[in-house]
Structure 1
Amino acid sequence: MFVALCVLFMWPSYDVIVADLVSVVIPLVKLKKSTKVVFYCHFPDLLLARHTTFLRRMYRKPIDFIEELTTGMADMILVNSRFTASIFAKTFKHLHARGIRPAVLHPAVNVDQFEKPHSYKLNFLSINRFERKKNIDLAVSAFAMLHTLEGNIHQTSNLADANLTIAGGYDRRLRENVEYLEELKSLAEREGVADRVNFVTSCSTAERNSLLSQCLCVLYTPTDEHFGIVPLEAMAAQKPVIACNSGGPVETIKNGETGFLCDPTPKDFALAMAKLIQDPEMAKRLGEQARQHVNESFSTRIFGQRLNQFLLDVAGNKQD
Structure 2
Amino acid sequence: MRVLFLHPDLGIGGAERLVVDAALALKERGHEISFLTNHHDSLHCFKETADGTFPVCVVGDWLPRRLFGRFYAFCAYLRMLYAACYASFFMPQREQIDVVFCDLISVCVPVLRLARHRPRVLFYCHFPDQLLSARAGLLKRLYRAPINWLEERTIGMADKVLVNSKFTLRVFQDTFRRLNTVPDVLYPSLHTQYFDKMEQKLEQRSALLEEPVHARVPRNSFIFLDINRYERKKNHALALHSLRLLGNMLPTLDFKRCRLIIAGGYDTRCLENVEHYAELEKITAELKLQDHVVLLRSPTDEEKCSLLYACHCLLYTPENEHFGIVPLEGMYFCKPVVALNSGGPTETIVHTSTGFLCDKEEQSFGAAMYQLFRDDQLRIKMGELGRKRVQQKFSFEAFADRLNNVVQDLQPGSKKTK
Q: Do the structures match in fold with TM over 0.5?
A: yes
Q: Out of 109, 120, 138, which is 2:190 matched to?
A: 109
- Indicate the RMSD between aligned Cα atoms, in angstroms: 2.8
Is 1:145 the counterpart of 2:229? The answer is no
Is 1:123 the counterpart of 2:223? The answer is yes
Structure 1 contact 84–226 (Cα < 8 Å) conserved: yes
Structure 2 contact 263–296 (Cα < 8 Å) conserved: yes
Rounded to whole Å, the distance in 2 between the matches of 1:41 and 1:176 is 24
Larger mean CA deviation between 282-291 and 4-13 belongs to 4-13
Q: 1:209 to 1:12 in 2, by over 3 A?
A: closer
Rounded to whole Å, the distance in 1 between the matches of 2:363 and 2:399 is 36
- Once the two structures are TM-superposed, the CA of residue 206 in structure 1 deviates from its matched residue by 1.7
Rounded to whole Å, the distance in 1 between the matches of 2:153 and 2:249 is 54
Aligned to 2:305: 209
Q: Out of 240, 249, 267, which is 2:363 matched to?
A: 267
Q: 1:15 to 1:317 in 2, by over 3 A?
A: farther
Is 1:245 the counterpart of 2:341? The answer is yes
- Once the two structures are TM-superposed, the CA of residue 101 in structure 1 deviates from its matched residue by 1.8
Identity of aligned residues (%): 43
Structure 1 contact 231–253 (Cα < 8 Å) conserved: yes
Structure 1 contact 121–216 (Cα < 8 Å) conserved: no
Larger mean CA deviation between 11-20 and 167-176 belongs to 11-20
Aligned to 2:10: none
TM-score by length of structure 1 reads: 0.86
Is 1:285 the counterpart of 2:381? The answer is yes
Q: 1:72 to 1:278 in 2, by over 3 A?
A: same
Q: Using CA pairs under 8 Å that are at least 6 residues apart, name the structure with larger relative contact order, 1 or 2.
A: 1
- Once the two structures are TM-superposed, the CA of residue 250 in structure 1 deviates from its matched residue by 0.9
Is 1:136 the counterpart of 2:236? The answer is yes
Aligned to 2:156: 72
Structure 2 contact 133–141 (Cα < 8 Å) conserved: no
Which runs of no fewer than 5 residues in structure 1 stay unpaired? none
TM-score by length of structure 2 reads: 0.67
- The equivalences for 1:285-304 within 5 A come to 285-304=381-400
What is the letter of the counterpart of residue 126 of structure 1?
A: D
- Once the two structures are TM-superposed, the CA of residue 132 in structure 1 deviates from its matched residue by 1.1
Which runs of no fewer than 5 residues in structure 2 stay unpaired? 1-80, 207-218
- Once the two structures are TM-superposed, the CA of residue 299 in structure 1 deviates from its matched residue by 3.4
Rounded to whole Å, the distance in 1 between the matches of 2:404 and 2:310 is 36
Larger mean CA deviation between 71-80 and 25-34 belongs to 25-34
Is 1:30 the counterpart of 2:113? The answer is yes
Rounded to whole Å, the distance in 1 between the matches of 2:113 and 2:98 is 11
Q: 1:187 to 1:56 in 2, by over 3 A?
A: closer
State the Cα deviation string for residues 155-202 of structure 1 (Å, max 9, x = none). 9x9343112111112234543333322332332333333221122122
Larger mean CA deviation between 246-255 and 297-306 belongs to 297-306
Q: Out of 154, 175, 185, which is 1:91 matched to?
A: 175
Structure 2 contact 221–259 (Cα < 8 Å) conserved: no
Task: Tell me how many residue pairs correspond in the alignment.
Answer: 311
Structure 2 contact 220–257 (Cα < 8 Å) conserved: no
- Once the two structures are TM-superposed, the CA of residue 84 in structure 1 deviates from its matched residue by 1.3
State the Cα deviation string for residues 77-121 of structure 1 (Å, max 9, x = none). 1111111112111211111xx3x2211111122223331338995
Larger mean CA deviation between 284-293 and 248-257 belongs to 284-293
Q: Out of 158, 163, 177, which is 2:254 matched to?
A: 158
Q: 1:226 to 1:4 in 2, by over 3 A?
A: same
- Once the two structures are TM-superposed, the CA of residue 204 in structure 1 deviates from its matched residue by 1.9
Residue 195 of structure 1 aligns to a residue whose secondary structure is coil
- Once the two structures are TM-superposed, the CA of residue 49 in structure 1 deviates from its matched residue by 4.8
Larger mean CA deviation between 253-262 and 57-66 belongs to 57-66
Rounded to whole Å, the distance in 1 between the matches of 2:136 and 2:367 is 38
